[in-house]
Amino acid sequence: METIDWLWILHPALAVVLIYPLIGMVVRLGIQARQRRVDRAKLPPTTGRDHADLGQWLSAGVVLVVLVALTVVIVTKQPAEGFTGGGARALQLLLVLVGTVVSLLALWQVKAKGYRLVFALLTWAGVLGLGAQPEVWRLSDNPLSAEFWQSHYWAGVGVVGLMIFSLAARPEILKDLRWRRLHLTASALAAVLFLVQGITGSRDLLEIPLSWQKPTIFGCDSVKRVCPPFAPADPAPPVGS
């Protein structure tokens, strides 16, 4: 594997090592927090706070891992000297990336409702802006097509939106029963999308060849399911030559 291949598996590796274990812990603590509040179960009083704190890390982690994926795809799609749009577009995309990360960090810190709304929208817009670039592969952009609902990209965008919502609405979720119910609904939908992400991500990994295999693999006919023959290996030099 070359450097570019390691970059391509960075996103799924981070998801498997960091995000999905966090999901398990957050879900478990969320169930315990509800049992303590509703069923009066004898659980530590810190259960709810631990759930909220780990949920905050999960939300931020999901956004950052998606940003890593989008950045790698855009940067490695073509050689630097052949980058579409040249240096001006590269600088513009870099500013969008930096702005999105700064907005996410600000969303983590600010308390006022208006600021949380603004930074949540900026973070969401940054993710969508980077995801809309032509280098980013999407099965379909048409919600009426089956491919749209099978797309790893769009499921990921949906998860990011739900995570940003949970991060931005944390104070309201902690104080208001109606917001907690909305949070519960959003979390259930996020769980379904995380499941979809695991399936579609595994599927897409099967379709991404190593960099040295791409010339042949990309020459295959997906309809007829045939590929061009490999070039014959160079003959070995005669012994003693």
Higher pLDDT, 66 or 3: 66
3-state secondary structure of 61: helix
- Kindly give, in sequence order, each residue whose CB lies less than 8 Å from that of residue 105, ignoring residues fewer than 6 positions away: none
The tokens describing 21, both together, are 């274990």
pLDDT tens column, 157-200? 999 999 999 999 998 988 888 998 999 999 999 999 999 999 99
DSSP-derived secondary structure for 126-187: HHHHHHTSTTS--S-S-TTSHHHHT-HHHHHHHHHHHHHHHHHTHHHHHH-HHHHHHHHHHH
- Kindly give, in sequence order, each residue whose CB lies less than 8 Å from that of residue 153, ignoring residues fewer than 6 positions away: 131, 136, 137, 138, 139
pLDDT tens column, 66-114? 999 999 999 988 777 777 888 888 899 999 999 999 999 999 999 999 9
pLDDT at 43 over 90: no
Higher pLDDT, 72 or 1: 72
| pTM across the whole model | 0.86
- Averaged pLDDT for residues 35-39: 79
> What pLDDT shows up at residue 218?
75
At residue 235 the predicted structure's pLDDT band, cuts being 50, 70 and 90, is low
Higher pLDDT, 118 or 220: 118
Residue 1, Cβ neighbours under 10 Å: how many? 10
Largest CA distance in the chain: 85
